[in-house]
Amino acid sequence: MKKLLIFLKDYKKECVCAPLFKMLEALFELFVPLVMAAIIDTGIANADKPYIIKMCLVLILLAVVGLISSVTAQFFAAKAATGFSTKLRHALFKHIQSLSFSEIDQIGTSTLITRITSDINQAQSGVNMVLRLFLRSPFIVFGAMIMAFTIDAKAAMIFVFTIPALSIVVFGIMRITMPLYKKVQGLLDNVLGITRENLTGARVIRAFNKEADEQKHFEETNEQLTVMQKFVGKISALTNPVTYVIINAATLLLLWTGAVRVDTGVITQGEVVALVNYMSQILIELIKLANLIITITKALASANRIAGVFEIQSSQHVENASDSSNDASDVSANDIIVEFDHVNLAYSGAGAEALSDISFKVQRGQTIGIIGGTGSGKSSVVNMIPRFYDATCGQVLVDGRDVKTYEFDELRDKIGIVLQKSILFKGTIRDNLLWGKKDATEEEMTEALRISQALEFVEKKEEGLDYMVEQGGKNLSGGQKQRLTIARALIKKPEILILDDSASALDFATDAALRLAISRMPDSPTVFIVSQRATSIMQADKIIVLDDGCIAGIGTHDELLESCHVYQEIYYSQYPKEVAL
φ, ψ at 475 (rounded to 5°): -95, 20
The residue range of the domain holding 572 is 331-414+527-581
pLDDT of residue 368: 94
* Co-location of 83 and 136 in the same domain: yes
Maximum alpha-carbon separation in the chain: 120
* Co-location of 544 and 577 in the same domain: yes
Number of helices (H), then strands (E), in the chain: 22, 12
Please tell me the distance from the alpha carbon of residue 96 to that of residue 314, in angstroms, as a whole number. 9
Three-state secondary structure readout of 260-303? HHHHCCCCCHHHHHHHHHHHHHHHHHHHHHHHHHHHHHHHHHHH
Per-residue pLDDT of the chain (581 residues; tens, 9 = 90+): 677 888 988 898 999 999 999 989 888 888 888 888 888 888 888 888 888 899 899 989 999 998 999 999 999 999 999 999 999 999 999 999 888 888 888 887 878 888 898 889 989 998 998 898 888 888 888 888 888 888 888 888 887 888 788 878 877 887 888 788 878 878 887 888 888 888 878 888 888 898 999 999 999 999 999 999 999 888 888 877 888 888 888 888 888 888 888 888 788 888 888 888 887 887 778 777 777 877 887 788 888 889 888 988 888 788 775 544 444 444 444 588 999 999 999 887 766 788 999 999 999 989 999 998 888 889 899 999 999 888 889 999 999 899 999 998 899 899 999 988 888 899 999 999 999 888 889 999 999 999 999 998 998 888 889 999 988 888 888 889 999 999 999 998 899 999 988 877 788 888 889 888 988 888 789 999 998 888 888 889 999 999 988 999 999 999 999 989 999 998 888 877 644 44
* Co-location of 302 and 385 in the same domain: no
Which of 256, 281, 311 is the last residue before a domain boundary?
A: 311
CB 381 within 8 A of CB 391: no
Sorted by sequence, the CB contacts under 8 Å of residue 427 that are 6+ apart come out as: 468, 469
Q: What is the number of structural domains in the chain?
A: 2
CB 309 within 8 A of CB 107: yes
CA dihedral 194, 195, 199, 201 (to 10 degrees): 10
Q: What is the CA radius of gyration of the chain?
A: 35
Q: For the domain that residue 171 is a member of, what is the CATH number?
A: 1.20.1560.10
CB 131 within 8 A of CB 76: yes
Helices (H), 11-48: 12-38
* Co-location of 379 and 255 in the same domain: no
Helix axes 269-311, 239-263, angle to 10 degrees: 160
* Neighbour tally for 506: CB within 10 Å: 21
Please state the separation of Cα 58 from the chain's center in Å.
51
Residue 490 lies in a domain: no
pLDDT of residue 181: 80
Which of 311, 342, 357 is the last residue before a domain boundary?
A: 311
- Residue 45's SS3 state is coil
* Co-location of 115 and 234 in the same domain: yes
Residue 318 lies in a domain: no
- Residue 368's SS3 state is strand
* Co-location of 27 and 122 in the same domain: yes
* Co-location of 172 and 66 in the same domain: yes
Sorted by sequence, the CB contacts under 8 Å of residue 31 that are 6+ apart come out as: 62
Scored b (16 or more CB within 10 A) or e, 282-309 reads bbebbbbbbbbbbbbbbbbbbbbbbbeb
CB 292 within 8 A of CB 134: yes
Residue 501 lies in a domain: no
Please tell me the distance from the alpha carbon of residue 67 to that of residue 63, in angstroms, as a whole number. 6
Please tell me the distance from the alpha carbon of residue 496 to that of residue 446, in angstroms, as a whole number. 21
* Co-location of 286 and 343 in the same domain: no
Q: For the domain that residue 560 is a member of, what is the CATH number?
A: 3.40.50.300
Helix axes 153-200, 136-151, angle to 10 degrees: 170
Please tell me the distance from the alpha carbon of residue 90 to that of residue 123, in angstroms, as a whole number. 14
73-77: Cβ within 8 A, 24+ apart: 73/17, 73/18, 73/19, 73/20, 73/21, 73/22, 73/25, 73/131, 73/132, 74/18, 74/132, 76/13, 76/14, 76/15, 76/17, 76/18, 76/21, 76/131, 77/14, 77/18, 77/127, 77/128, 77/131, 77/132
Residue 551 lies in a domain: yes
Quick one: DSSP state of residue 391? -
Please state the separation of Cα 549 from the chain's center in Å.
33
Alpha-carbon distances of 483 from 264, 458, 478, 529, rounded to whole Å: 95, 10, 9, 15
Residue 421 lies in a domain: no
* Co-location of 79 and 201 in the same domain: yes
Give the residue among 8, 472, 451, 392 at the shortest CA–CA distance from 196: 472
* Neighbour tally for 426: CB within 10 Å: 13
Alpha-carbon distances of 382 from 172, 385, 496, rounded to whole Å: 56, 5, 11
Quick one: DSSP state of residue 401? E
pLDDT of residue 332: 47
* Co-location of 112 and 213 in the same domain: yes
pTM for the predicted model, two decimal places: 0.71
Residue 324 lies in a domain: no
Which of 256, 283, 311 is the last residue before a domain boundary?
A: 311
Residue 502 lies in a domain: no
Quick one: DSSP state of residue 355? E
Please tell me the distance from the alpha carbon of residue 335 to that of residue 399, in angstroms, as a whole number. 8
Q: Which residues pair with 528 in a beta bridge?
A: 368, 498
Residue 565 lies in a domain: yes
* Co-location of 339 and 199 in the same domain: no
Three-state secondary structure readout of 198-255? HHHCHHHHHHCCCHHHHHHHHHHHHHHHHHHHHHHHHHHHCHHHHHHHHHHHHHHHHH
pLDDT of residue 47: 82
Alpha-carbon distances of 121 from 129, 141, 229, 322, 559, rounded to whole Å: 12, 29, 18, 46, 61
* Co-location of 222 and 271 in the same domain: yes
- Residue 539's SS3 state is coil
pLDDT of residue 327: 46
Please tell me the distance from the alpha carbon of residue 488 to that of residue 417, in angstroms, as a whole number. 9
* Neighbour tally for 568: CB within 10 Å: 16
Sheet holding 401-402, edge to edge: 355-363, 336-345, 393-398, 401-402
